[in-house]
Each structure stands twice: as C-alpha cells, then as structure tokens.
Amino acid sequence: MKKTIILEIDGKNVEAEEGMTILEAAKKAGIEIPTLCYHEGLEPYGACRICSVEIEKKGKSRIVAACCYRVEEGLKIKTSSEKVDKLRRIIIEMLLPISPTGPMLSLAQKYRIEKSRFYAGKTECVLCGLCVRYCATIKREHAVTFVGRGASRKIMVVPEKIGTCALCRECHNLCPSGKIMDLTAL
C-alpha cells in the first residue's frame, strides 16, 4: 500500500499517493493544470512546459513541470502565479504560429493571446513527441521518430514503416498541431 502524502495546491490541502506527479494529484483533486504533451497512457515527457507550476519547498520557490515532478509531503504548489502565467504565455505565444488551431488556439484564448510576436518556420510540428512516444510505447512500431537536434529537430516517418504508419493513424488524435496527418498521408 502506498503512503498518503498531504500537499497544498492553490491553498487547498490535497491528499495524494506517494509516487504520483503534481499533475495527477491536481487532477484527482479537480484542479486543472493545462497540458499539451501529456497523455495518460504514456510516461511523462515534460517537453512543452505548458503544465509548469510554482512549487515552494523549505522556503524556496521554483518552477517545475507538473507532469514530471513527484509529490512530496508539505509541498506548496501554485498552478497560477505571475511567474507561471508569464512562462505559459511565452510558450503559447511561441507555439501559436506553428499550431494556430485546436489545443493551442484554446490555450491562446484562455490566456488572452490574440497575436504572436513570433514567426513560424517551415514546420508546423510543436515537437511535443506524443506521436513518437505513442508509436514506440503503445504500438511498439517505432514508425515515427525524431530526427535532428536543436532548431533542426523534426518528426519523421521511418521509410521502412510508411505502410504500417499509414494504416494505423492512431496518433492523429493526439497531435495538437495536426502535422502528423501531413507526414502519414499517402
């Protein structure tokens, strides 16, 4: 049996099981934290940082990804603060030109972002990794992968797996930008 931990989220005492993430504990308590790269069936990835929260531990505060950070006894969490909201707004503003529909548009509206200062490059992929992780973990096909590093990083269908990928298409529902549909179209 796992140990029960008491922590504070937005001033509310919350019970969580040892090993849970902040995101899981918040969801269980009915507290919403926005996400983009999170999927319940996959290991936390922490790529998008939309789920960032401010934690206070031993009198010191810092920003962490709620999908990856494990709960601790006495942890104080703010799901919205000046620092957190500023970080989320910048992330959303950077991703909005890349993916101006679906989840990104909803987040932009929630954070009252009408226009981005940034320009989108050639890709429309937000590099959340949902398709790559789903294909590897759930489907065990490894048909979709990352190639390149840094600013050159992109998603690619492995040439030998194009047929498998085109028939599956299960990752289409996960993709916040819809870019995977372009890559897997035959």
pLDDT tens, residue by residue, 164-173: 888 888 988 8
pLDDT at 72: 94
pLDDT at 166: 83
pLDDT at 86: 96
pLDDT at 88: 96
pLDDT tens, residue by residue, 112-132: 998 889 887 656 788 899 999
pLDDT at 135: 94
Cα 131 to Cα 121: distance, rounded to the nearest angstrom: 20
pTM across the whole model: 0.82
- Which tokens belong to 113? 């972002």
Q: Which amino acid is present at 61? A: S
Residues of the chain short of pLDDT 70, as ranges, are: 121-123, 184-186
pLDDT at 91: 93
Burial class of residue 143 in the structure, from the number of CB atoms within 10 Å of its CB (0-12 exposed, 13-18 middle, 19+ buried): buried
